[in-house]
Amino acid sequence: MPQTSNCTPSWLRGFLMFACAISACMAATTEPYSFANQEARLEQALAEQPNMGHAKNIILFIGDGMGVSTITASRILEGQQHGDTGEENYLSWEAFPNTAMIKVYNSNQQTPDSAGTMSAIMTGHKTKAGTLGYDDKVVRGAHDSGEDFGGSARKVETLLERFEKEGRSTGIVSTARITHATPAACYSHSPERDWEQDADVRTNHKDATNAGFKDIALQLIEFPYGDGLEVALGGGRLGFIPNTQPDYENPSAKGKRQDERNLINEWLTKPKSSFVYDKQGFELVDPTQTKKLLGLFQDSHMQYEVDRTKPIYPEEPSLTEMGLKALEILRQNGKGFFLMIESGRIDHAHHAGNAYRALNETIELSNAVRAVRESLTEQELKETLIIVTADHSHTFTIAGYPTRGNPILGLVVNNDKQGKPEKSPAKDALGLPYTTLGYVNGGGYTGPMVNIKTQEISNGGQHFHEKAGGPLSFLSKEWKYIHVPREARPDLTEVDVECEHFIQEAAIPLGSETHGGEDVVVYATGPMAHLFRGVQEQNYIYQVMRYASEEKHF
């Protein structure tokens, strides 16, 4: 690649990288999209035979917030990280032979939340936003709306509970708190997703506490089916320790539990159980000697993948490493297992309007899918249904008319009338350059803001990095949008729009970018994966998993 100085604008650095990549691609004998290559793919598809066998094992990968645009942009970014133009790249699961489109609305909400969507996947019942493991008669935040407390809503069985009842092993892995909506939907039942630990319930719903309603962390530890989960790896330590005890890694932080219980110690009363809180302890775990593994690697959510290995953060395992360790423990059970692996922070980065981290989280999920699948034996591959999907999407867009190989995180560079790349970025109707990636709403709105403490007014996107509370924080409470005439968009010519802290522009001002309501994709391989086709409701995913895993059908 040509040498560039540190002062070279990001669009020019990217353009030079793109020029090298596309030259290399054109020098290849055939393009990935060539007639011959696609003819070969047809032959491959014609030879594909469905696996009609029994799924002894199920591995469910969830990219939280991983809509189609996120997959596309991540595919391109990964390819460009490898020195290619990017568009021809494939993420690991895109080689799976079976796909379907999935409708993600909640029973009461057009654009969904993660609790209702993951409950649909895990129980087969569409339900209300913000609720876990109940049918749609549940009232959010009302513990007494369930039949076990006198209401009409039913608790509905999760697939993980079904596996435990059958004597199979179960596990959850997440880069979010393990009591967060997606992992919680695997093992808990709650009319409120925010009841992650008892302080949440005691503070806001004393009646539920007085009635003996269990918070989500407690439900994990006191899981009543089978012998309980074998593996739980992720973040969220403070929800498991009392408010009188300092955190394991951060002594200035105290636990959140007000019931004086230490749930980690209670986990350790189980036979052959272990608890780890850092990568060193994690690596010392012997999967053949450990029956129960609890790993809580952060007081709240785990670090983003691009931050995880930075010296300023305590070491923690990657999503790939956690998935492989969980698999090693669960596969000890000859009856089979269910494993859910979530890349939870794709969603968080999108809420913050930060495409850089969202896409790199997706790439790490692709790494995890590849590594876990490659670690399966030939026999395990025949007996394991592997599913990759999302709970919902985001308002994340890929737009403009950038030339092929243009840096996906960069400014748009168009083609000229001869179809060749222009030598400078495209301009909008105001004469200003713009990025390929953006959001419909969120904290990247470039209109005026006022700091309620200092009365400082920020105009034209100065808050892209630090002004709104620092990288990846939702809009700081110190800053408020103000309704005055908006100045022109910021001039991004000299802005490093490809850096890790850049917040993409948003059309509508919100403190936190929202979910999107369009369909997501499910990708599948293994026993009964061919049942994923067409356009399906989200709770159909459960029906396929249930059917494939029931031995009576085979």
Comparing CA positions, the residue from 246, 262, 266 lying closest to residue 254 is: 246
* Closest CA relative to residue 360, chosen from 62, 76, 74, 69: 74
Per-residue pLDDT band at 475 (split at 50, 70, 90): low
Tokens of 206: 């004393």
CA 235 to CA 258: how far, in whole Å?
A: 19
Residues in the chain: 554
Q: At what angle do helices 540-549 and 114-123 cross, to 10 degrees?
A: 30
Q: Check residue 312 and give its pLDDT.
A: 85
- Closest to 406 (Cα-Cα) out of 305, 497, 506: 497
Per-residue pLDDT at 26? 45
Looking at 167-171, 242-246, 311-315, 330-334, which range is the least confident one?
Answer: 311-315
Residue-wise pLDDT for 355-402, tens only, equals: 999 999 999 999 999 999 999 999 999 999 999 999 999 999 999 999
Residue 119's nearest CA partner among 144, 138, 99 is 138
- pLDDT tens for 235-270 read 999 999 999 999 999 899 999 999 999 999 999 999
| pLDDT value at 473 more than 60 | no
Its pTM stands at 0.94
Yes or no: say if 63 and 69 are a contact pair by the CB < 8 Å rule. no
Q: Is it the case that residue 37 has pLDDT exceeding 70?
A: yes
Q: How many CA atoms lie within 13 A of 53 on its CB side?
A: 16
Share above pLDDT 90 across residues of the chain, in percent, rounded to a whole number = 81
List, for residues 213-227, the tens digit of each pLDDT value. 999 999 999 999 999
Q: Provide the pLDDT for residue 209.
A: 96
**Banded pLDDT at 477 (limits 50, 70, 90):** confident
Note the pLDDT of residue 457: 81
Which of these ranges, 24-38, 140-154, 268-282, 313-327, has the smallest mean pLDDT?
24-38
| Domains in the chain: ranges and CATH | 59-395+518-553 (3.40.720.10)
Task: Determine which one of 114, 169, 190, 476 is catalytic.
Answer: 114
Whether pLDDT at 11 is above 90? no
Residue 49 has pLDDT above 60, yes or no: yes
pLDDT in tens, 516-532: 999 999 999 999 999 99
In this prediction, residue 458 carries a pLDDT of: 76
437-465 pLDDT, tens per residue? Answer: 999 999 888 888 888 888 988 765 544 54
Q: Is 114 a catalytic residue?
A: yes
Element containing residue 346 per DSSP (H, E)? helix 345-351
Angstrom distance (rounded) from CA 204 to CA 315: 35
When pLDDT is cut at 50, 70 and 90, the band that residue 28 belongs to is very low
Whether residue 17 is predicted with pLDDT greater than 90 in this model: the reply is no
The rounded distance, in Å, linking the Cα atoms of 29 and 279 is 44
**What pLDDT was estimated at residue 5?**
37
What are the beta bridge partners of residue 167?
none
The alpha carbons of the chain give a radius of gyration, in whole angstroms, of 24
**Mapping DSSP to helix (H, G, I), strand (E, B) and coil, where does residue 163 land?**
helix
What gap in Å lies between CA 512 and CA 29, rounded to an integer?
46
Q: Using a pLDDT cut of 70, give the percent of the chain over it.
A: 91
CB-CB neighbours of 497 under 10 Å: 27
Q: Residue 447: what pLDDT? A: 85
Q: Report whether pLDDT(27) > 60.
A: no
pLDDT, tens only, 73-106: 999 999 999 999 999 999 999 999 999 999 999 9
Tell me the Ramachandran region of residue 17: left when phi exceeds 0, alpha when psi lies from -120 to 50, beta otherwise.
alpha
pLDDT at 554: 83
426: Cβ contacts below 8 Å, ≥ 6 apart: 400, 401, 402, 411, 412, 413, 414, 433, 434
Cα–Cα distance measured from residue 391 to residue 62, given in angstroms and rounded to the nearest whole number: 7
Position 186 pLDDT exceeds 80: yes
